[in-house]
Amino acid sequence: MRILLLGLLALSLSACSLLYRLPTRQGNVIDQRDLAKLQVGMTRDQVKYVMGTPVAGNPFRDDRWDYFGYYKSPRGDVTTRTISLYFDNANRLAKMDGIEQASAGKVDELAKPDLNFVKSEEKKDAAEAVRGPRPPDDGGEQTPTPQGAP
């Protein structure tokens, strides 16, 4: 009886580690594709359109916007990223810090593509493969040929 009770107790305690933990994402969702769109000289409105509203605004320094991204995977791996954008007196983007791609040795969870986007791209590629290669476009108009002509 004791062996059965100990076995049941060990089984119930081991089940605690089998619980699924949700990924935690806080701050801005920082995507490398959005960062690639940023260019020096863009207006504040253009930057806000591309990146969204910054998480941290400094009331003492209006020329700097900070974007913070935090991601904790279900396995406990934590990834953080900070992007600082500086504006000049004409409200144009003058300097960017933290834009460079993460190192190749560490996977940047914040820059992973969306699963739905990847699936839609795979469907497009499969549809193009079924259609076959497109004929080269010579830039001219195409005229229909009669059915009996070669």
pTM of the model: 0.54
Which of 58, 52, 59 shows the shortest CA–CA distance to 29? Answer: 52
Give residue 72's pLDDT band: very low, low, confident or very high (50, 70, 90): confident
Residues 6+ apart with CB under 8 A from 92: 40, 41, 42, 43
Q: Which pLDDT value is given to residue 140? A: 54
User: pLDDT of 73-119, one tens digit each?
Assistant: 888 888 888 888 999 999 899 998 887 755 444 444 445 556 666 67
Q: Report residue 67: phi and psi, to 5°.
A: -115, 125
HSE-CB at 78 with a 13 A cutoff on CA atoms is 3
Over 80: is that where the pLDDT of 44 sits? yes
Q: Which pLDDT value is given to residue 115? A: 64
Domain ranges of the chain: 19-127
